[in-house]
Amino acid sequence: MPAPDAPRHPADAHDLIRVRGARENNLRDLSLDLPKRRLTVFTGVSGSGKSSLVFGTIAAESQRMIDETYPAFVQGFMPSLARPEVDDLQGLTTAIIVDQERMGANVRSTVGTVTDAGAHLRSLFALLAEPAVGGPGAFSFNVPSVTASGAMTVQKGESTVAERTTFSRVGGMCPRCEGMGRISDVDLAELYDEEKSLDDGPFTIPNYAAGGWYVKQFAGSGFFPSDAPIKSFTKRQMHDFLYKEPTKIEIDGMNLTYEGLIPKIRKSMLSKDRESMQPHVRAFVDRAVKFVVCPDCEGTRLAEHARSSRIDGVSIAEASALQITELAQWVASLQAGHSGPTVAPLLTNLSALLDSFVRIGLGYLSLDRPSGTLSGGESQRTRMIRHLGSALTDVTYVFDEPSIGLHPHDIATMNELLLALRDKGNTVLVVEHKPETIAIADHVVDLGPRAGAHGGELQYEGDVAGLRASGTLTGRHLDRRVTLKEQVRERSGAIEVRGADHHNLQDVDVDIPLGVLCVITGVAGSGKSSLVHGSLPRGADVTVVDQTAIRGSRRSNPATYTGLLDPVRKAFAKANGVKPSLFSPNSEGACPVCKGAGQIFTELGFMETVTTPCEECEGTRFQAAVLEHTLGGKDISEVLLMSVDEALAHFSSAEAKVPAAARLLGRMDEVGLGYLTIGQPLTSLSGGERQRLKLATHLGDEGGTFVLDEPTTGLHLADVEQLLGLLDRLVDSGRSVIVIEHHQAVMARADWIIDLGPGAGADGGRLVFEGTPTQLVRAASTLTGTHLREYIGR
């Protein structure tokens, strides 16, 4: 121990992250100091520059500098990161980003495979299960069993000898479904009308019109009569029609390959990602193809030998299907009876990992849960698990709204985890809007005052008490509470749900009222999404507006997605006496060098593709001649660089009045996207922004029922008030609104609340309350009721 009056060691002086002159995106020459080994929360309205500072500047520069330490060959396989727009950054440490992006929807990916839990469990069964069937691969549904034989050439001295050899590998993949757990079953009645002949055009499949090329191939194959009804085909003819393997044939002098209808459809349609299909093809697939549980493995994905090998009577399939809280108890019971030098460390590590799931509030999941079904919040917390037991210290952890998807009851647990990471000597940077998480901060950075071009400035820096007294937008709203409605609306009808048992729902009967604002609440994993997304009756007229990615290329942007670009192009064309196609970067007006991309992509062999701005158009994406045409003093490239608010003012002005464009922009502004640049790529939008953009496209629809999944995601406290006003206007205009939500402000403004619980997973799935918010607060009989009462101060 150094003496009390000993001089401070020079290394101890590096206790700040210094940011000087940050100008990334909308940041306005921002300079500030962030304390290391403390919890700093970044606040401000959506679009104020929080992510640009935390992710686009601090975390991005840390990752870029680490990447530069690798050899050039290795860097070639890594993303190429440009230096952020900042004058100086000092005091950076290794940054670990834990964001809210959903995990990939790979059909072979589960909670067990994306963490180490699945690998640990397979190793455990390889050591202890009886009968022994092989190594860990024998219990993996992603590893097929393989047997091969042949000749192998062996060099022995001066001679070469050919030896007979065999090779085998025992995998755990079910051979019937190939580890998918499901097989597709095609409904033949949805493919063709068996009363018609091929000459009559019997098909009801997209692109199989009478007289079309596909139909000509079948009619001219010669394997069955083209003028007879399909139902009259013999057994052999029906097999050739539906299932025949690829066979060479000749039609009208052309050599072609014929194959049966079913394999042809599987290759041309079913092999594609459903979301990437054209709408009419997707509708056909949904109608004609039914995915059923594999009859061989009963949905476990595993081969017979993997299912029959057991530890104390439990197979790996049964263990993977257990709720993680139950699996943790089973593993703990094994620790008492197995203390060998190989098994004991494995059980200890697996037990600690499962306990981390429980601590983080994911104990209701199971290891066989497909990772693509996890919400953004669940995905983020799953990624957190690997860091909870990490031996790393002095690391910068960067979190993007970790409270997403969490009930107020679960936020307290999340806060404890953030503080635990800090207390291990790490720097924790959190972008957050929830007052419960802002309250635990050691240091707060508030950006604003508004969004986009009106943001990017430092509004406040200091402790939470100072934020409350600062008078900033965040400070004023930090303790503001929405009051309960004095009078609720009367329902105009109801969607009846009977016997709902999807996922963890336990035979739930409930009437979801129409003509009102109905909020579905409950802790994470209680069954809210299962009720709304998986249990509504077929034919219910609902429009689901969720946070999933919007399909499109890197050329897609809010202007193209909402249809805004169409009236804008027509207005430009009319004002300048030219064709509308000139004002599209995907058509005649595109820059001939970059083909309207605005960037040049240079392939460098095994190294990372280099992206540079197009020198011809300077990134505008248009030909120079097109930019000579203006509307209200602005060319089309300048319009696409406008925010929604700026474009709304522009197209509402007398010089550039375009009512159709102003109407669409008004809807985007109404859902809180006034700061969004109308030409920015859709891939750059957050989950909450995607949801609000989808909602904007539906605001012009007449009537109907909207289903919104956590619409407050990514919203500042002030923006939540704007959202509540929008929800009220939707209901007052004759629509029904069903909202899955944890935010107490939305609960307080509801007309009707349906609360599921009481816990998560197997401990949830039951209807614990339905009624008005006032009744919920008065009873306070559920976790939701208790927290709502605390929120409103009663």
The helix-helix angle for 644-652 and 659-670 (nearest 10°) equals: 150
State the DSSP H helix or E strand holding residue 386, giving kind and residue range, or none if neither: helix 376-388
Between CA 270 and CA 340 the distance in angstroms is 49
Task: Kindly report which listed range (35-39, 142-146, 251-255, 456-460) carries the lowest average pLDDT score.
Answer: 251-255
Higher pLDDT, 298 or 290: 298
* 341 band by pLDDT with thresholds 50, 70 and 90: confident
Judge whether residue 741 has pLDDT over 70: yes
- Predicted local distance difference test score (pLDDT) of residue 70: 86
The whole-number average pLDDT for the span 314-324 is 96
What is d(CA 40, CA 430) in angstroms, rounded to the nearest whole number? Answer: 6
**For the residues of 296-320, what is the DSSP string, one character each?**
TTTTS-B-HHHHH-EETTEEHHHHH
Reduce the DSSP state of residue 171 to 3 states and report it.
coil
Average confidence score pLDDT of the chain = 88
Amino acid at 188: L
Q: Give the torsion through C-alpha atoms of 169, 175, 178, 183, to 10 deg.
A: -170
3-24 residue pLDDT tens: 566 677 888 788 999 999 999 9
End-to-end CA distance of the chain: 52
- Contact in structure between 675 and 451 (CB atoms under 8 Å): yes
pLDDT score recorded for residue 276: 55
- Please tell me the predicted confidence (pLDDT) of residue 473: 94
Count CB-CB contacts under 10 A for residue 170: 18
Residue 391 to residue 592: CA distance in whole angstroms: 54
* Position 671 confidence tier, pLDDT thresholds 50, 70, 90: confident
Q: Which residue has the tokens 């083209």?
A: 226
Distance CA 604, CA 385 (A): 37
Could you give the 3-state DSSP secondary structure of residue 183?
A: strand
Between these two residues, 140 and 76, which has the higher pLDDT value?
Answer: 140
Calculate what percentage of the chain has a pLDDT beyond 70. 94
| DSSP assignment of 244-298 | PPPEEEEETTEEEEE--HHHHHIIIIITS-GGGS-HHHHHHHHHHEEEEE-TTTT
Instruction: Please report which confidence band the pLDDT of residue 606 belongs to, taking 50, 70 and 90 as the band edges.
Output: very low
> 44 with 25: CB under 8 angstroms?
no
**What is the Cα–Cα distance from 313 to 315, expressed in whole angstroms?**
7
Amino acid residing at 533: H
* Least confident range of 147-151, 277-281, 514-518, 731-735: 277-281
Q: Where would I find the beta strands (DSSP E) of 660-715?
A: 705-709
> In this predicted structure, what is the pLDDT of residue 375?
72
- What pLDDT does 450 receive? 87
Element (H, E) at 542: strand 542-545
| Backbone dihedral angles phi then psi of residue 39, each to the nearest 5 degrees | -100, 110
Mean pLDDT value across residues 418-423 = 92
Q: Can you tell me the distance from the alpha carbon of 43 to that of 35, in angstroms, rounded to the nearest whole number?
A: 16
Residue among 360, 352, 351 nearest 382 (CA)? 360
Strand 493-500 to strand 310-311: parallel, antiparallel, or no bridges (unpaired)? unpaired
CB 458 within 8 A of CB 725: no
Q: Which band of pLDDT confidence, cut at 50, 70 and 90, is reported for residue 99?
A: confident
**Structure token pair of residue 583:** 């004002």
Say if CB 246 and CB 266 are below 8 A apart: no
Beta bridge partners of 514: 493
Predicted structure pTM score? 0.79
Q: What percent of the chain has pLDDT over 90?
A: 51
Phi, psi dihedrals of residue 747, rounded to the nearest 5°: -60, -45
Pairing of β 736-740 and β 517-521:
parallel
Mean pLDDT to the nearest integer, 766-780: 94
Query: H-helix or E-strand containing 420?
Result: helix 408-423
Segment 640-648 shows an average pLDDT of 93
Range with the poorest average pLDDT among 30-34, 226-230, 370-374, 722-726: 370-374
pLDDT digits (tens, 9 = 90+) for 133-145: 999 999 999 999 9
pLDDT band at 603 (very low <50, low <70, confident <90, very high): low
31's torsion region: left (phi>0), alpha (psi -120 to 50) or beta? beta
CA distance 494 to 752: 12
Check whether 611 has a pLDDT greater than 60.
yes
- Mean pLDDT score, 329-337: 91
Q: What mean pLDDT is predicted for residues 306-323?
A: 95
- Taking residues 771-787, what's their average pLDDT? 93
**Assigned token pair, 476:** 């004023």
Report residue 54's pLDDT band, with 50, 70 and 90 as the boundaries. very high
